[in-house]
């Protein structure tokens, strides 16, 4: 279980899952509040970890618990147009 909590979510700013969960438990109930309190999601990469932050936050707000496994949210992939 210790491994899960030390999982790095934001590689740009080296922010762990534990730090993010703590921020959410202490009132960060929007992505912007998570960004402000942890600096996750505002790194040089442009916030690629936001795809993990959103499902973590949504799951917690709905259930009061964090998901065991974080599945990154993703937009719909566009299919390549058929040629020929």
Residue 3 pLDDT level (bands cut at 50, 70, 90): low
In tens, the pLDDT along 16-64 reads: 999 999 999 999 999 999 999 999 999 888 889 999 999 999 999 999 9
Domain residues of the chain, as ranges?
Answer: 2-63
pLDDT tens digits, one per residue of 12-27 = 999 999 999 999 999 9
- Quick check: 21 and 56 in contact, CB under 8 A? yes
Phi, psi of 19 (to 5 degrees): -65, -40
For the beta carbon of residue 37, count every other beta carbon within 10 angstroms.
16
How many alpha carbons fall within 13 Å on the CB side of residue 69?
Answer: 1
């Amino acid at each position: 279980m210790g491994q899960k909590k030390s999982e790095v979510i934001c590689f740009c700013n080296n922010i762990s899952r534990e730090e993010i969960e703590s921020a959410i438990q202490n009132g960060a109930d929007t992505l912007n509040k998570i960004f402000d309190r942890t600096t996750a999601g505002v790194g040089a990469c442009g916030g690629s970890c936001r795809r993990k932050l959103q499902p973590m936050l949504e799951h917690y707000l709905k259930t009061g618990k964090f998901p065991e496994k974080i599945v990154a949210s993703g937009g719909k992939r566009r299919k390549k147009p058929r040629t020929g």
